[in-house]
Structure 1
Amino acid sequence: MFDVSELIETDSHIEADRGFGIQAIREGILRANLARLRPVDQPSKAQLEAWRVATNASEWFQAEDGLIVRCNEAMSRDTRRANERTVKPLIEELETRCRGPVLLEGVDPPWMLKKLIDAQTPIDFQSFHQRVLVLQADWNEFLDGLAYVDLGEGLGDERFKWFVGDEASERLLGWVCGRLDDAPPAMVVQNPMVRTKALPDSTALMHEIDVRWLKNESELVQFMKGRSVGSRAWWSKRFGQAGQEQEPLRVLIPTARHSTYLKYAAADLAQAFTDLGCNCQVQLEQDDSQILSKNTHLRSVHEFDPDLIVTINYPRCKLGEHIPKDIPHICWVQDAMAHLFDWKIGELIGEMDFVVGMVKPELIDQFGYPAEQTRWMPMVASKAKFGHEPIDEGFDSEIAWVTHQSEHPDLFRDRLVGNMKVNAPAAAKTFAKLLDDVEQLVTTITTQNLRTHIDSLIDQAFFPNGVPEGARAIRTSMYNDMVNPYAERVFRHQAAQWAANIAVRRGWRFKLYGKGWEEHPQLAKFAAGPLEHGDELGACYRNSVVQIHASINQVVHQRVSECLLSGGLPICRAISNSFGYANLMVCVSADLEYDKDLMTQGVRTPWYVEIDSCPQASDLIEHLRRLEICDEQLYADGKMKWSDETLALARERLGVSEQRETAEMVVSMSDLYFTNEAQLEVIIERAIGDKAARNRRICKGVEQMPRALTTDGIAESMLKMIRTKLDQA
């Protein structure tokens, strides 16, 4: 239960002035607040009349600042500050992450309720709205609470559920227990000024809810223990004959409504599996204030009986200890989330677990993920959702960009440093300096390998003597969760400022789509609001002459694929790292020579090819020079060189079809890349000046797009990977 035991202070500085119209003022406030509630939550005429009689028995005052207070033996004149101070830690927690419902008992006085109404959504989950269950046994107290102050339009939000009057506790208990897929209340707040407690009160109710949830979990666990466990041979036959001699495969995809990308990625993947003949079920919150119970996964497994479970960014062990180990499970990695970089996760991966997607090498090399069950696969787009021909007139902008990363880099930096001050105060100053160095590096990057230089900055700042074995997860998290996202933010906002500069200078229309751009100090005037994934997003791609993409992590992103499929022209900010796979392609496709003398001299790059005699090498160098990111010193002798390790890496990675095809796509799109403001302007001007050439380039991009970059392709690859592994038994 949330601690509200601190003493209520009396503020003796209110200068009260009792006016004869105080009751009329209070009734006006009450009417305004009640008008926001649904009809089912409104009091009856009799209850309102009973309140009028009861409230006249108390002394009410209006202070000089307009605050309405009550004075009698049971209540101090001003509890507002104490109420707000008591609930402050709760509000701070709710504004940082999604939680199950808050159970609030008592709204008189209403300061706790008002804080819950006014609380901001979690910064990383802007679509989530905290659910609040309000319990009040006495109608008079409830109406008194709503007669203090105008509580605003938020009072009428669907996320508030009201349980007032006779049998309020029973109704609340029935409502909660009738939603076993919802997370139960995560915390209880009992207003210390509540005069008539509910029976049972909020604390006792929470205990009863916990008992029922544990009983429900126990029943589901027994179902799991009683199910038939499929052998490896049985699963091999099931996957091999599904849709032929057996019924279609059943695929369960648990996901999160509160992450826009994950919600639509799961839906698109489900459609792709359905198109392949599977029966799919997406497990998703039903509204913006719901958090699913951990029992929901067990219920879905029990009722749907899946043959395959696919979760985005979460391995099987994160779904709960009772999820059956024999059902094939795929963790589809889309983001480098901290919980994945843990050797304990690697140890828990069983023989029926598979990890695919944006799989970083360190998952295998440092955290024990089994290589044979781990496979890199690209970020993908739905061809069915975004397929459309380009247009040649009727554009609503010359330049557009769809991105939710609208928070200014300075604000993001302050937030990161603030978190460091809380979690590791001694490191905060060094960390702030590190971020400043990263910003300088990103905004001036030319020929350097950005990842290598960022790693060097981190190690110089925090690990000058190397990374200890026990600090690997911390080092990885520092890069993935803090430094890399900050570098990405700086990189994107610099490109957005270039586009804004060009638009103003040339009189072109520039639109920034996504949440929060209207708050940006420099780019607010270009804000165009968020878009719904699907037709609305596809129309945006198509109706702008060019669409910008910028990422230090991946130049060919699902946004790029979506844009091409929608009939749009994506142009991408590149860095030297963007051509890493192109370099590996030259390595595996060229006739390499070996210089023994170099090895005897201690040089670690004995494999080479003469650039002028190798078309692939010549083309790559030409691309780098055009983009002004070619490190001429590396090729001063006319050779492109590789080490034994790089050659082995190239053969390993490009031996995987998805990586090879993605690498080919990266190279094929290099004419659409830019690295500075001047190059960006040239590409935009070219697209505006020759719409026919623009449209031909879009069609060419769609033709060159491998199936591996589509949801259909990745669904096929997932099933193929499982079948291959099962057939090896």
Structure 2
Amino acid sequence: MTTLTLDTDRSELLRCLESRDPYGFLDRAARYLDVSPADHQMRLAAVREYVRLGLGGPANELLADVNSDGDRRAESALVALRQELASVSIGRIAWSVYHHQFEANLAVMNDRGLDCGVIRDAWRRDGRRYQLFRDAAGRHHVRAHDDAWRWRWIPYFGDHPGSAERQAFPDDVQQLTPGPYLFDGVALGHLFARIHQRTLDTFHGYSCALFVIEPEPAVLALALHLHDWYALLSDERVRLFVGPEWKTQLEQAWDGDPDLPFPTRAFAMGQCRAGEHEPALVVVERAGQRRNDAVTASALELNARYDARDVAYRARRFRDALSGGGPPLRILAAVSTHTTFLQYSMRDVRDALHALGHRCEVLTESTDHAITGPLTYHHAIQSLDPDLFFVFDHVRPEFRNVLPRNLPVLTWDQDCLPQVFTRQNLDGVARHDFLVGCSRARWVEMRYDPGQYLTCAIPTRADRFAEQPLTDAERERYGCDVSYVSHASRTADEFHLEQRTLQKNPDAVRMMDAMHAILPDWPNRPHVSLGVLTAEVLGEACRRCKLEIRDPEMRNWLLEWYLWRLGDRVFRHEALRWVADWARRTGRSFRIYGNGWDRHPTLSAFAAGPVENGHELSCLNRASRINLQLMPAGMIHQRALDGLACGGFFLARSTHEGSAVTLRQLMARIDELGIRDSAALVANDDVSLRRLLTEYLGDWLRPAKHHGRDALAYLRHCAEVDHAGDVFHDLDAIQFNSADEFERRVEHFLNHDDERRDITERMRRVVLERFSYRSTVDRFLHAMADFLAAQIV
């Protein structure tokens, strides 16, 4: 609704007429004529616009107050207009036409346990105040009389569906986890319905909460007549607070559920109401302050309990629990339901801890719109009294006011998220915290304690893959020559465009464009470290853009987030193109499982839909004669380890495993020469050392290339990582790095079943012996215990 001043009213009305905007004109005209009733020219213009829209009722009401003042020409025009109006429908629709829809909506609310009586009673009492119209374009309009019995369009006269479509969303609607939002009224419901649809399942099942308050139930009844809201009202995240008790109900909802989040934005849409009410945001602030006070008091109590537990206590507690000399560890863990892989991984961690004799409780969201709140953590800590908090991909500073400062945190870093591994976050990691995972190189490069981070691969849950023969139905359903499983269906170009749109830094966008152009043609040198290759691509992009990336966080984002994932797409999709070309030419069966492949520009013909992790994936791995592993991470990755554990055979695109031999030789030479720091490494002119450095690092050691990174720390980190070639002695036989090499490998193994089975069994034995969750988690706990013990002076 637009608010006008008297000085601009008439000119604005004329502009609407000239632009042929009948809705804008009539909305303004209704208010203008209240203060300028003698402007018969504008009154007649409004009558004509109502007539064009097929709304004879409002047109007749305006025309009733017009007279000709004795002017014959004017009188003739009025007669003609009245005759025209006689053939125009009044446009009014009886509310009873939509009574069935109204009752159906109330029935849905009743099924959810919501009080429908207050809405039905209010409509019976106040419904006569409202009149419903439908214009020639099918648009609904509602008006109500005020205390002086003057009719007012509510919330305004307009194209409500069109206005809702044109309404700009809040910026955060574009994010993966938008909202929550509060609606102070829903007007006629169009914008509310659109935002509900737009915020449905935005990220792995997350749908933000939508709070609706309506002090006047009859106003909500308007929208309930006009829309079929079965799906919307069935949605538990739509929280309705209707009637005079709305404030009490709203505050009780937040007070009673510590995981029910507060809205981040509010839509003020209560123009339909007749009375005045306390602003909704005041109620939100009051409830929010109460929760904050409760969190503060609870945190003080927990800190008082844990502050008495010093480093000696923690070291002794871990030692006794792991040696059997004391009670098992009590571990609190948390994982979001809005993940895919991490939920399964947390399940396997929990089961491994239980198998080791420890107690583990896992917190997760209870609904699709809940966010596990500080008080839920506090209640769990008060009840369990944990010795350790375990979490994926997050570190202590992200749990301010959530965890006691003396409760140790064990972080399993599975994804190397750049927004987590910032200097500010890592500076907040406590000395009694511990990290495991895939980012130790960055941890060490940033000059943190190497002993506080343990490198590890993601293991497999070996006991989930009992050797049960496939049924005939399973072989029929999943059997094929070659299969591949992944949700990484977006092409490198699509990923680039998405990230380019999200990036606000113009220099970063230039760098992204340069790397996107460089990467597909960059030489693939399997004997050179993958980390070095990505750094070389970054350096070449800097040269082409004539930029120097001085911000370490931006450099990390470009390398660890953008370039790694861009390269991952190039790596996978290039190999899939080789396989697809072979399958088309030979007629062999090839299937790609996962989300989105049916929309891939060149591979959609091979799309086979998603496959569930667990038994279904195990059936697929065993029924496929050949499975593919097409990740830069190589064969020591849970996807491959799970497939091997259940007895699947794999061909894998070559990664940089060939560099492992060079690295071992290089580290042996470094130790022989007694090199202790990067400066000595760069300065040493030993011929053998220089040859091995060049073979493994290329020209990365040039100052312009390694950007101040600690080269020796990087090399020592690489040496600690398990290399597939050292673990799987059949690796060379199953790898390929070109279309021709793939065809030789795949045709050989499709024609040699016995050799394929022998390799599968040897690799499976290795997985079961070395990569179980139980042994991996036990290694985490012992490494953390050693780190805590080393801190005792």
TM-score range, shorter chain: 0.7 to 0.9
Corresponding position: 1:726 with 2:726: no
Which amino acid in 1 is paired with 2:357?
A: G
Native 8 Å contact 2:645 2:768 kept in 1 = no
Contact 1:251 1:307 in 2 (8 A): yes
Question: 1:409 touches 1:490 (CA, 8 Å); kept in 2?
Answer: yes
Cα RMSD between the aligned structures?
3.9
Alpha-carbon distance change, 707 to 447 in structure 1, aligned in 2, over 3 angstroms: closer
Query: Secondary structure of the residue that 1:551 maps to in structure 2?
Result: coil
Change (3 A) 1:153 1:6: farther
Q: 1:94–1:122: 8 Å Cα contact kept in structure 2?
A: no
Displacement of 1:281 after TM fit?
A: 0.8
Paired with 1:336 and 1:7, the residues of 2 have a C-alpha distance of 54
Q: Answer yes or no: is the 8 Å Cα contact 2:572–2:630 preserved in 1.
A: yes
Equivalent runs, 1:434-583 vs 2, <5 Å: 434-441=515-522, 451-462=531-542, 471-575=551-655, 577-583=656-662
Deviations 1:609-663 (A, max 9, x none): 99xxxxxxxxxxxxxxxxxxx99x99xxxxxxxxxx9999766754x5xx34755
Matched, 1:425 2:506: yes
Quote the Cα distance in structure 2 between the aligned partners of 1:427 and 1:601.
33
Q: Which residue of 1 aligns with 2:72?
A: none
* Residues 181 and 263, structure 2, Cα contact 8 Å, conserved in 1: yes
Q: Deviations over 1:657-679 (max 9, x none)?
A: xx347552255423222222333
Aligned: 1:676 with 2:756: no
Q: Name the structure 1 match of 2:333.
A: 253
1:15 pairs with one of 26, 38, 53: 53
3-state secondary structure, aligned to 2:658: helix
Asked if 1:179 is matched to 2:257, the reply is yes
Q: Distance in 2 between the 1:155 and 1:520 partners? A: 35
- Contact 1:251–1:308 (8 Å) recurs in 2: yes
Q: Is 1:213 aligned with 2:295?
A: no
| 2:314 corresponds to which of 235, 242, 245 | 235
Q: What is the one-letter code of the residue matched to 1:66?
A: G
Could you say if the C-alpha distance between residues 47 and 374 of structure 1 is closer, same or farther in structure 2, counting changes exceeding 3 Å?
closer
Which shows bigger deviation, 320-329 or 261-270?
320-329
- 1:371 corresponds to: 450
- The answer to whether 1:380 aligns with 2:452 is no
Single out whichever of 66-75 and 272-281 deviates more from structure 2: 66-75
Residue of structure 1 equivalent to 2:383: 303
The question of whether the paired residues in 1 share the 8 Å contact of 2:391 and 2:410 is answered with: yes
Structure 1 CA distance, aligned partners of 2:3 and 2:590?
Answer: 54
CA distance 1:451–1:203, change in 2 (3 Å):
same
- Equivalents in 1 of 2:276, 2:576: separation in Å? 55
Unaligned runs of 5+ in 1: 611-629, 635-644
Matched residues in 1 for 2:599 and 2:625: separation? 25
Pairing of 1:165-204 with structure 2 (within 5 A) = 165-195=243-273, 200-204=278-282
- C-alpha distance after superposition, 1:192-239 (max 9, x if no partner): 424167965521221122122112112211212320421222222211
Are 2:183 and 1:145 equivalent residues in the alignment?
no
Change (3 A) 1:378 1:721: same
User: Partner residue of 1:158?
Assistant: 236
Provide the C-alpha distance between the structure 1 equivalents of 2:263 and 2:164, rounded to a whole number of angstroms: 21
Pair 1:530–1:166, CA change in 2 (3 A): farther
Name the CA shift for 1:580/1:446 in 2 (closer, same or farther; >3 Å).
closer
Report the residue type matching 1:606 in the other structure: S
In structure 2, relative to structure 1, the CA distance for the partners of 1:361 and 1:196 (3 Å cut) is farther
- The answer to whether the aligner puts 1:270 opposite 2:343 as a matched pair is no
Equivalence for 1:126: 204
Which residue pairs with 1:222 in the alignment?
300
Taking a change above 3 Å as real, the CA distance of residues 486 and 526 of structure 1, as seen in their structure-2 partners, is: same
Per-residue CA deviation, residues 520-554 of structure 1 (Å, 9 max, x unaligned), is 23333433333333223322322322222212244
Larger radius of gyration: 2
Check whether the contact 1:69–1:78 (CA below 8 A) recurs between aligned residues: yes
Name the CA distance, whole Å, in 1 between partners of 2:661 and 2:110.
Answer: 61
In the superposition, the TM-score normalised over structure 1's length comes to 0.83
Distance 1:236 1:448 in 2: 41
Report Cα offsets for 1:230-259 as digits up to 9, x if no partner.
122222221122273432110111111111
- Calculate the TM-score normalised by the size of structure 2: 0.76
Give, in angstroms, the shift of residue 715 of structure 1: 0.6
Residue-pair matches, total: 682
Residue 32 (structure 2) aligns with: none
2:492 matches 1:399: no
Is residue 2:115 matched to residue 1:102? no
Aligned in 2, Cα 1:649/1:413: closer, same or farther, shift over 3 Å? closer
How far, CA to CA, are the matches of 1:552 and 1:606 in structure 2? 29
* Corresponding residue of 1:136: 214
Given the superposition, is the C-alpha separation of residues 539 and 32 from structure 1 closer, same or farther in structure 2, using an over 3 Å criterion?
farther
User: Which stretch has the larger CA shift, 468-477 or 255-264?
Assistant: 468-477
Q: Which runs of 5+ in 2 are unaligned?
A: 6-20, 26-48, 56-89, 144-150, 674-680, 700-709
- % identical aligned pairs: 20
Code of the aligned partner of 1:242 = A
Residues 164, 535 of structure 1: CA spacing in aligned structure 2 closer, same or farther, 3 A cutoff?
A: farther
Structure 2 counterpart of 1:290 = 370
Equivalents in 2 of 1:141, 1:601: separation in Å?
79
1:33, 1:524 → 2: CA distance? 41
Greater CA deviation, 239-248 or 280-289? 239-248
Letter in 2 for 1:408: T
Contact kept in structure 2, 1:61 and 1:70, CA below 8 Å: yes
Q: Residues 670, 183 of structure 1: CA spacing in aligned structure 2 closer, same or farther, 3 A cutoff? A: farther
Deviations, residues 550-577 of structure 1 (Å, cap 9, x unaligned):
12244421101011112222322223x2
Distance 1:321 1:35, change over 3 A: closer
Residue of structure 1 equivalent to 2:195: 116
Moved more, 245-254 or 288-297: 288-297
| Larger CA deviation: 44-53 vs 680-689 | 44-53
Q: Does 1:704 align with 2:766?
A: yes
- SS of the residue 1:219 aligns to: helix
